[in-house]
Amino acid sequence: MMRILLYLIAFTISGFCVAQTEIQTADRKYDPNIGAITFHYPGQYFSYPILSLNSDDVLDLNFDDFSEGLRYFSYKVFLCDQDWTPSDIPVLEYLDGYETNEIVENNFSFNTRAQYTTHTLRIPNDNLRLKKSGNYILYVWDDDSQEPVLTRRFFMVENRVLV
C-alpha cells in the first residue's frame, strides 16, 4: 500500500514539473546548427502560414541541420489564445491524431562544401489534423537531447461569411 502511495506522489509531482515547462510562442530558432527555416504553402515561399479549416490546405516546414550526422526531430502543435499563450482547451478538442509525431522526411546535401540535412514536415498530415480555428504554435525538438530546436506560429481560419 505504501509503495502505491509513493508511486502516486511521484507521478503527481512529475506531472507538475512537465506542466510548468514554458513554450516560447514567438517564431524562434534555439539551435545554432539549424538554418534556412521556411514555413509556407507548397511552392509559395513568401506566403503567410495560414490554413483554412475543413479544406485541403497544407503548410510545409523546411529547415536545414548543419550538425554532423543525422539527427531525429519530433514536433507538437499547440492551440493558443488570442495573445499567443497556450490555451487551456484539451488537446482532443482541437487535434485529431497523435499529439507528438516524428519528422521523417529528410534529404542529405550533395556536391556542396558544407554537409547538411534538410528536414521537411507537412501540416496537416496523416498523423495530425486540426479541428478548430485559431492561433497555433508548431514546436520542434531534438529527439536525443530533448532540447527545443524551433517554434513557428501559424493560423487556422474558419470561413463563416461568403464575400
pLDDT at 108 over 50: yes
Q: Is residue 15 part of a domain?
A: no
Q: Is 29 left (phi over 0), alpha (psi -120 to 50) or beta?
A: beta
pTM above 0.75, yes or no: yes
Q: What confidence score (pLDDT) does residue 34 get?
A: 95
SS3 17: helix
Assess if residue 13 is contained within a domain: no
Q: CA Rg, the chain, in Å? A: 18
Beta-strand ranges (E) seen in the chain are 28-29, 34-40, 50-52, 59-65, 73-80, 95-97, 100-103, 105-108, 117-123, 128-130, 134-142, 148-157
Residue 154 phi, psi dihedral angles, 5° rounding = -155, 170
CATH, residue 87: 2.60.40.10
What are the counts of helices (DSSP H) followed by strands (DSSP E) for the chain? 2, 12
SS3 46: coil
| Least confident interval from 4-13, 53-62, 144-153 | 4-13
CA distance 123 to 57: 9
What total number of domains does the chain contain? 1
Residue written as cell 514536415? Answer: 121
Q: Please report whether residue 75 resides in a domain.
A: yes
Residues 29-45, buried b or exposed e (16+ Cβ, 10 A)? bebeebeebebbbeeee
The pLDDT of 4-24, averaged and rounded, is: 47
Range of the domain at 148: 23-157
pLDDT-derived band at 162, boundaries 50, 70, 90: confident
pLDDT of residue 25: 79
- Confidence at residue 46, expressed as pLDDT on a 0 to 100 scale: 85
Give the cell for residue 14.
512529475
The answer to whether residue 17 is domain-embedded is: no
The percentage of residues in the chain with a pLDDT greater than 70, rounded to a whole number, is 85
Task: Tell me the percentage of the chain whose pLDDT exceeds 90.
Answer: 64
| Lowest-pLDDT range of 8-22, 28-42, 58-72 | 8-22
Give the pLDDT band (50/70/90) at residue 110. Answer: confident
Comparing 45-49, 108-112, 155-159, the range with the smallest average pLDDT is 108-112
Q: What is the mean pLDDT of residues 35-58?
A: 91
Indicate the range of 12-16, 118-122, 128-132, 157-161 predicted with least confidence.
12-16
Nearest alpha-carbon partner for 147 in 62, 65, 59: 65
Of 71-80, 126-135, 154-163, which gets the smallest average pLDDT?
154-163
